[in-house]
Structure 1
Amino acid sequence: MASAAHGAPSEPLTPTAYIAEHLQNLNNIGGAQTSIIDFSVINLDTLFWTLLMGLIAVGFLLVAARRATSGVPGRFQALVEMLVEMVDTQSKSIVHGDRSYIAPLALFVFCWIILLNTLDLVPVDWVVGVNHFLENFGLHVPHHKIVPTTDLNATLGMSFAVLLLVFFYSFKAKGVGGFAHELLSAPFGAKWYLAPFNLVLNIIEYVAKGVSLGMRLFGNMYAGELIFLLIALLGSIWTFSLDLSVLGLVGHVIAGSAWAIFHILVILLQAFIFMMLTLVYIGQAHSHH
């Protein structure tokens, strides 16, 4: 969520520069990424917030497990029990096999992505303000993007991790020979002359699963962040400076609050979709063609 538009101390930002400023990651090279695929670039802000939210999600679930009682549950325990029951019900209906690790994995993924997406409600200008505050102590942070799910590297990393789990459970459920036979015989049949076509289609299917899973989460969260920035600009559309005019109140405060309330639904929905697709893909790994 964005607060009022701000300007740099030396010269005012243009609307385009304002948006670009808030959408840049803090990385280890000190500049923009020069190629589409560059494994030498590490987005430090994405890495930090992803790990932190993951630890918070684990801590949340551990506290819930330790505080669970057999008596009348409190509000916290009731909330966690609802989440566990919902995820367990979905996993039972989708995955037909051993769910000892799959259901807890889906629960963690759901809680983790909710926390990652919720960072989108933090006003982006607060982040810039903290950066300026740190400069008073000699710490220079030129850029910082707080929402990891608006970074394609993070969402694709999570989606391809799910793809690796799909391969793992495919090998576990079918064996190496069974999985190889499925790659060469589905969907057109086990005829030897159809094997190359089956293999190509299966490779395309697996790549499409990984890419679409990550792109879906990234696209929705990135668009939401961009809308927050555009709403922030409405309050200073004429002069691009902080003002308390009626236009600023209506264009920024009211519109920003309305979008933030609606965005809560997007946050929960995207986490649920990612969790469900994770279960669907792993469930498909247990099925035999």
Structure 2
Amino acid sequence: MASEAQSGGLNEYIGHHLNHNVVEIGSGFNLDTWLVSLVLGLLFLLWFGLAARKATPGVPSKGQAFVELILEFIDGQVRDTFHGDRRSVTPLALTIFIWIVFMNTMDLLPLDLAGWLVHTTAGAEVAHHTYFRAVPTADMNTTFALSVSVFFILIGHALSAKGGLGFGKELLTAPFHAHGFMVVLLAPVNLAMNIIEWLVKPISLAMRLFGNMYGGELVFMLIAGLLGSWISFGPGVLANAAWAIFHILIILLQAYIFMILTVVYIAGAREGH
């Protein structure tokens, strides 16, 4: 696939790698995003499920110790941020963090690996017309699906803590509190402000994760298209390795930010203005 940068230019090379494997199910459905997300989610469940089944009260194995270290880290972050019952919040935070880390880590796979596999098994012509993007979080559909799910979880926590009437009253009477007739006058303003506040949360979560992972993916494509094909193999490998080492920080940081903001938003949803 890297030879495309020589034959068709960098634009064609990047354009090819930015295409999803789309199947028509009513509308376009990104099969590659769905498949990779599903496999990684099942891998997370299998890993932690087996670790829980094999856990022993004595001296833990290295695998058990590593899982316990992750659990203690996530629970500590939740405990510092959320001061209510953590029994449902910590598992949610753990799922978000590990799943996003897994999806982000797909950006470290060789960019042309999928094309090489298709080229090897089905031939060059099939490979040229086959698209596969392995980073689900570089697809806005994934990040918005995650953030919208978090949004409905926030609504659920708000309703659980305040009840339907209490939550509705808060939407109409905060953040600009008033008395008497001014309550009626300020109700539309309060409602508009609260709607904006609630909608900004999932949008900011989705766009932050998508923007960072999409940008990181583009850098890998630029390095592969320029250094890997036009100059020589050596500089491309070195540049990719350097960016991959730095990108590991982005992979972990973006998962952590998404997770911790979710916990912060849950804490805010259960509290009053």
- TM-score, scaled to structure 1: 0.87
Residue pair 2:173, 2:190 contacting (<8 A) in 1 also: yes
SS state at 1:42 partner: strand
Amino acid at match of 1:261: I
Q: Among residues 224, 233, 247, which one is paired with 1:232 in the alignment? A: 224
- TM-score, scaled to structure 2: 0.92
2:102 maps to 1:102: no
Q: Among residues 277, 281, 285, which one is paired with 2:261 in the alignment? A: 277
CA distance in 1, matches of 2:197, 2:112: 41
**Aligned residue number for residue 265 of structure 1:** 249
CA distance in 1, matches of 2:4, 2:13: 8
* 1:70-115 deviation digits (Å, cap 9, x = unpaired): 1122221111111111111121222232222111111111110111
Gapped regions of structure 2 (runs ≥ 5): none
**Aligned residue number for residue 249 of structure 1:** 234
SS state at 2:107 partner: helix
Runs ≥4 residues deviating over 6 A: 138-141
Q: Among residues 17, 22, 26, which one is paired with 1:22 in the alignment? A: 17
Residue pair 1:96, 1:286 contacting (<8 A) in 2 also: no
Residue pair 1:6, 1:125 contacting (<8 A) in 2 also: no
**Aligned residue number for residue 175 of structure 1:** 163
Residue pair 1:24, 1:145 contacting (<8 A) in 2 also: yes
Instruction: Give how far 1:135 is off.
Output: 2.6
Residue pair 1:169, 1:285 contacting (<8 A) in 2 also: yes
1:64-213 to 2 correspondences below 5 Å: 64-136=51-123, 142-190=130-178, 191-213=183-205
CA distance in 2, matches of 1:12, 1:234: 13
SS state at 2:101 partner: helix
Residue pair 2:19, 2:131 contacting (<8 A) in 1 also: yes
Kindly tell me the number of residue pairs found equivalent between the two proteins. Answer: 268
Q: Which has the higher helix share?
A: 2
* 1:135-188 deviation digits (Å, cap 9, x = unpaired): 35x987621111000001110110111001000111111100011011111111
Identity %: 45
Residue pair 2:10, 2:226 contacting (<8 A) in 1 also: no
Residue pair 1:119, 1:146 contacting (<8 A) in 2 also: yes
CA distance in 1, matches of 2:265, 2:118: 41
CA distance in 2, matches of 1:183, 1:217: 28
Residue pair 1:183, 1:199 contacting (<8 A) in 2 also: yes
CA distance in 2, matches of 1:13, 1:201: 50
RMSD value, Cα? 2.2
Instruction: Give how far 1:288 is off.
Output: 1.6
Residue pair 1:95, 1:286 contacting (<8 A) in 2 also: no
2:272 maps to 1:288: yes
CA distance in 1, matches of 2:29, 2:13: 23
Instruction: Give how far 1:134 is off.
Output: 4.2
Gapped regions of structure 1 (runs ≥ 5): 31-38
Amino acid at match of 1:6: S
